[in-house]
């Protein structure tokens, strides 16, 4: 039995469908019962912040897909280490044999925001007990192109990475890699840096989106400090905005420019391209840009 955390997220939704299609035995861990019913699969209601609620969710579970919320602060604090740490502890107590965790590229303790948070959690997982653990370390998500704030009100792509290319990956590929690692032979102690098949700059992304939509989509570059200042003006904590600026400076220096073969190695096919992603999500991009 597989337990899925993050089942309603960008990766989890696809993984639910993949596992259901292959007839795998699994359940999703959700905080909201209505969202569990909407998934159309077996589910357990529990909360990362309530370790006692996790016990029933792990009944009969031998494999865990561990994927949590983003590393944004809540009321000025970072709860992710505590919350996902409680899931790791519950998995160890339940005798889970295999854990596949979604981490981030360049995760290490002491690094800014998500990189530092996942660095701490990855180390905790490795030290948690006998479970065979495997890490997925993806590059930037193509699905983030559909997130609020990606486009300006006048329809330009907000560029945050200067002229540096990024090897964006489709979350569907991440889900399929997780499926392979959860249902196939274990790959204990291995980490897979997951990227798309190419790295593209913000300007190249704007050109690809323009071609897909048949209209010009311009670029609105923002420097890391400008992004940080805008978020600070919205009331986000100074520590978070400073950490975000540092992450953006790293990406602008090329930290996500590499392309790996991990996706084709695991799946036996190439990773999905930017153009394929755009073709599959044209209605969503039209809606985001308020196009007819």
Give CATH superfamily name and number for 2-140+170-195+258-271: NAD(P)-binding Rossmann-like Domain (3.40.50.720)
pLDDT for residue 74: 54
Block means of pLDDT (10 residues each) for the chain, length 292 residues? 95 96 96 92 91 90 90 60 90 94 94 90 89 94 94 94 96 98 94 98 97 96 90 83 91 96 98 98 94 82
Q: Within the chain, what is the greatest distance between any pair of CA atoms? A: 55
pLDDT for residue 70: 65
pLDDT for residue 291: 85
What predicted TM-score, i.e. pTM, was given to this entire model? 0.94
pLDDT for residue 230: 85
Domain definitions of the chain by residue range: 2-140+170-195+258-271
pLDDT for residue 218: 96
Cβ atoms within 10 Å, residue 220: 15
pLDDT for residue 103: 96
pLDDT for residue 234: 83
- The encoded tokens of residue 170 equal 């489709």
């Amino acid at each position: 039995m597989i337990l899925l955390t993050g089942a309603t997220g960008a990766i989890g939704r696809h993984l639910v469908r993949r596992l259901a299609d292959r007839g795998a035995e699994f359940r999703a861990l959700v905080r909201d019962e209505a969202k569990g019913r909407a998934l159309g699969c077996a589910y357990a209601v529990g909360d990362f912040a309530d370790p006692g609620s996790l016990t029933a969710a792990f009944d009969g579970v031998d494999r865990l897909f561990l994927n949590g919320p983003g590393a944004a602060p809540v009321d000025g604090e970072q709860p992710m280490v505590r919350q996902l740490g409680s899931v790791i502890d519950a998995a160890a107590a339940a005798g889970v044999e295999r854990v596949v965790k979604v981490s981030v590229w360049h995760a290490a303790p002491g690094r800014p925001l998500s990189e530092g948070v996942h660095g701490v959690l990855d180390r905790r997982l490795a030290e948690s007990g006998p479970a065979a653990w495997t890490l997925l370390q993806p590059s930037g998500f193509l699905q983030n192109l559909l997130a609020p704030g990606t486009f300006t009100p006048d329809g330009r792509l907000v560029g945050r990475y200067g002229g540096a290319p990024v090897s964006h990956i489709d979350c569907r590929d991440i889900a399929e890699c997780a499926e392979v690692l959860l249902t196939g032979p274990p790959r204990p102690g291995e980490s897979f840096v997951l990227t798309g098949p190419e790295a593209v700059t913000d300007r190249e992304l704007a050109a690809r989106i323009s071609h897909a939509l048949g209209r010009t989509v311009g670029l609105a570059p923002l420097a890391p400090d400008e992004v940080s200042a805008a978020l600070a003006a919205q009331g986000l904590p100074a520590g978070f905005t400073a950490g975000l600026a540092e992450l953006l400076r790293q990406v602008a220096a090329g930290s996500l420019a590499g392309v790996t073969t991990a996706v084709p190695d695991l799946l036996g096919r190439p990773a999905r391209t930017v153009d394929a992603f755009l073709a599959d999500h044209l209605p969503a991009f039209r809606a985001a840009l308020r196009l007819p």
